Structure 1
Amino acid sequence: MTSPAYDLIIIGGGPSGLNAGVSARKAGLRYLILEKGVIVNSLFNFPTNMTFFSTSLKLEIHDIPFISHGDKPTRSEALEYYRRIVQSQDLKLHLYEEVVGMSPQTGGAYRVKTNRGVYDTLAVCVATGFYDTPRWLDVPGEELPKVKHYYNDPHAYIDQDVLVIGAANSACDAALECWRKGARVTMAVRSDRINDRVKYWIKPDIENRIKEGSIPAYFGTTVTAIRENEVDLQTPEGPLTLPNDFVLAMTGYQPSYDLFERLGIPVGDDEACQPIFNPDTLETQLPNVYMAGVACAGRQTSKLFIENTRDHGDIIVRNISEKLGIES
């Protein structure tokens, strides 16, 4: 086999993938970022009016200034920031190109297959996040078009009966925004209260709306079936059927374990289901295959964020450079 065309293929064009790309460019590695959607595809699918919990300073990568009008940047400002990074750093990036498989080659290299081509590389970095894969309800009717696992804007739900499932940040944001824009909102919450990790300026708001009866909430409740014009709940008091036009299933997300399986990345068999990797180098049990970003946490999606994984790109590129004998 001839020498691979790339030193590093980065799977995922989100904040962690772009971060690794900048690290690779600075180190002089031959690299390519493959993204199945748009730049920072997960952030693009965030709610239109979302504000980050972290400050812009904590979201900066490689000391590239993140300018925002307020202390907490908006989704729109974040999209602009990452677009500027791609352009100013002249990152090598293929959009709308999905990785479908990977196979080992002689000499410890890999062949990465996509829906558009094949790439030979010495190393691979998996930076796919978790927001692309919703946690399904697995109930009858979940396949109906009225069921949404992503929420973007309340305008579509004016004067509609909307059931919001969940009690974390996404669910509370969606419930409040839709209610304020004129939707008839009900919440179904599996636990006995609103999630303690809900943003501090959102939590009292949603709790007060529930207390005053503006947003009815059923705690200790699960959805058992969804139909065109109604939804069935199992509450502590027994079964309940509600009129319904839309279901916003804000039930959380998880890494793409299907992709991990196609790539051959081993995953732990405990509840967290974390990819198995060396915490010092981020290298998985597959030689020269690395994990980066929030996907490292597996199903513990509240453990890692953009702000506490910003060093992953440098860690990975440093390890690859050492193996290649390149001075960092």
Structure 2
Amino acid sequence: MLTPDDIRAAHARIAGHIRHTPTLTLPAETFGTPVPVAMKLEFLQVTGTFKARGAFNTLLGGTMPAAGVCAASGGNHGIAVAHAAATLGIPARIFVPEISSPAKIARIRETGADLVVGGARYAEALAACEAFAAETGALSVHAYDAWATMAGQGTVGLEWEADAGPLDTVLVAVGGGGLIGGIATWFGRRVKVVGVEPEGSRALHAALAAGGPVDVDVQSVAADSLGARNVFGRVYETAKAHVDHVVLVPDDAIREAQKRLWLGLRAASEPGGAAALAALISGAYRPAPGERVGVLACGANVDLAALAATVAG
């Protein structure tokens, strides 16, 4: 199992390559939430999401094969691995499904990485990535089912606690679960860690209900970042130990959260990056009076035309 010491070591390892993103304590009226929020602005991270943390931790953590690295991604993990590989001079091939947004595909191409677009969903991209790794010897960098990835993502929690002061609860969006796994490992049970998933993409919620990882159908506005069909074993065991519970939010609430992030903070958030805030504004999570709540805003790789339509809608 992952430990807080692993996360401390990851933070020291990646410090020269990532940003210590800010945390703002925002009054309830900023977004129309029931309580003020300590919002960690992780969308200001290099590559636009927290994913750079896990990517750099993995690539800096051992000897790289001559064939380089490969990764399957809905978009954000691919951007992060491609960026980290380019920074460190490592060849990279990134596999993304057809549902990946044009904005994310363009960012991967900008890094100079080899890009393969194919398969309807993340699972198909992952299968192609694993076949490539088996054939070439490239290191496959998993988006969430890897301790090095999870330790890197857990550095979000380390910074959040240092900057926000005492918190009762943190709300964290869940796709494959590497982010919440790392953050929950850092906080342990000292802080209530609540996962937030779209109603149409609920891999962790389903796993906790079933007593183990299960495949789920994925259909959500946030599918390109929160669209994992299965959280797999490492995330499940970590969540079972450290995550308090998982709430589900409808796509309409995610769009509304995107809109409020823009109007209240002028933050251009992708749907997955707004999911944690959606839990508060929709009532999926109802804090007690005076509860000290942290909300993670975790991704900004959004198609600006689509965001403009959401804000205008």
Normalised by the size of structure 2, how large is the TM-score? 0.31
Normalised by the size of structure 1, how large is the TM-score? 0.30
From the two aligned structures, give the one with the greater helix fraction.
2
From the two aligned structures, give the one with the greater strand fraction.
1
